[in-house]
Amino acid sequence: MMKVIELHASATASNDLDAAALREELKDRGILLINLMSSPGSGKTTLLSRLIRDFQGKLRIAVLEADIASKVDAETIASLGAVSQQVHTDGMCHMDAGMTEEGLRHMDLDGIDVVFLENVGNLICPAEFDTGAHKNLMLLSIPEGDDKPLKYPLMFQKSDALALTKTDALPYFPFDIEKATERAKHLNPDVSIFPVSAKTGDGMRDLEDWILESLRELRHA
pLDDT of res. 26 = 98
CATH number at residue 143: 3.40.50.300
How far is the C-alpha of 137 from the C-alpha of 35, rounded, in Å? 6
Q: What is the pLDDT of residue 69?
A: 75
Report yes or no on 215 lying in a domain: yes
The answer to the question of residue 167 being in a domain is yes
Q: Is 46 inside a domain boundary?
A: yes
Is 178 exposed, middle or buried, given 0-12, 13-18 or 19+ CB atoms closer than 10 A?
Answer: exposed
- Helix axis angle for 13-28 and 97-105, nearest 10°, is 40
Instruction: Give me the pLDDT at residue 11, please.
Output: 54
Q: For residue 207, tell me if it sits in a domain.
A: yes
Contact 50, 201 (CB under 8 A): yes
Residue 112 CA: distances (Å) to CA of 76, 103, 124, 130, 136 = 19, 15, 30, 22, 19
* pLDDT at residue 89, rounded to an integer: 82
Whether 30 maps to a domain, the answer reads yes
Count the domains in the chain.
1
Residue spans of the chain under pLDDT 70:
1-11
Describe the crossing of helices 204-220 and 44-54 by its angle, rounded to 10 degrees: 70
pLDDT digits (tens, 9 = 90+) for 3-61: 443 334 455 779 999 999 999 999 999 999 999 999 999 999 999 999 999 999 999 99
Three state DSSP letters for the chain: CCCCCCCCCCCCHHHHHHHHHHHHHHHHCCCEEEEEECCCCCCHHHHHHHHHHHCCCCCCEEEEEEECCCCHHHHHHHCCCCEEEEEECCCCCCCCHHHHHHHHHCCCCCCCCEEEEECCCCCCHHHHCCCCCCEEEEEEEHHHCCCHHHHCHHHHHCCCEEEEECHHHHHHCCCCHHHHHHHHHHHCCCCEEEECCCCCCCCHHHHHHHHHHHHHHHHHC
Q: 1 lies in a domain?
A: no
In a domain, 9, yes or no: no
Residue 6 within a domain: no
Measured CA to CA, the distance from residue 187 to residue 179 in angstroms comes to 13
Domain of residue 93 covers 14-220
The amino acid occupying position 129 is F
